Amino acid sequence: MKINTRRLFASSNPDLEHFSDNQDKIELVSCAGQGMKCKNHLIEINNIYSESHFHLKEKDYQRAIEKLKSAYHKTMELNDNECIKCSELFRSTIIESLKNIKEELRTLTTGFLGSSHYRSSYILAYNVLEEIKKAAV
C-alpha cells in the first residue's frame, strides 16, 4: 500500500505557487484492494482537498480547515478490510496538512509581529486536530 502525496500544503511553502489547483493532492500508487473501492473516495477527497487548497491560497484559513476536516470525515467511510490501509494513509496526509496550517497560524499569531487576526483560525486548527485525536482513540 503506497500513495504519492504531492506537497502537503503550508502557504509559506515556495512551491505552493507552482502547484496546480486541478492536480490531485493524493495519488493512489498501489492498494491491497486494487483501488476499486478507494478510487471513488479518493476522487471526492482530492476534490475537497483542492477546495481547501484554494481557500488556503486566499488566506481563508477557516474554510481551508473546515474542508480538510470534511475530507478527514470522508475517509471514515472507507471501512472495508482491504481499504483500511488506504484510509489510514489518506487520514495521515490530511492530519499532516492540518498540522502545517496550524504551525503556520501559530507563527502568524505569536512573536513581535504576531497578529490576533488569525487567532480564531489557529484555535480552530488546534480544536480540529484535538477532535481528530479523540475520534482516533
**Are 52 and 68 within 8 A, CB to CB?**
yes
User: In this structure, is residue 82 part of a structural domain?
Assistant: yes
User: In this structure, is residue 61 part of a structural domain?
Assistant: yes
User: In this structure, is residue 131 part of a structural domain?
Assistant: no
Provide the number of structural domains found in the chain: 1
Question: Nearest-CA neighbor of 26 among 12, 11, 45?
Answer: 45
Q: From CA 57, how far away is CA 79, in angstroms rounded?
A: 32
Q: Report pLDDT digits (tens) over 86-122.
A: 788 889 999 999 999 999 999 999 877 778 889 999 9
Could you tell me how far CA 112 lies from the centroid of its own chain? 29
Alpha helices, DSSP H only, in 12-114?
36-57, 61-75, 84-109
User: In this structure, is residue 105 part of a structural domain?
Assistant: no
User: In this structure, is residue 117 part of a structural domain?
Assistant: no
User: In this structure, is residue 135 part of a structural domain?
Assistant: no
Q: Report pLDDT digits (tens) over 30-46.
A: 665 556 667 778 888 88
Predicted TM-score (pTM) of the model is 0.77
Q: From CA 72, how far away is CA 104, in angstroms rounded?
A: 20
User: In this structure, is residue 112 part of a structural domain?
Assistant: no
Query: Which range marks the domain in which residue 56 is found?
Result: 2-98
Instruction: Point out which residues pair with 2 in neighbouring strands.
Output: 30
**Are 31 and 2 within 8 A, CB to CB?**
no
Q: From CA 93, how far away is CA 67, in angstroms rounded?
A: 14
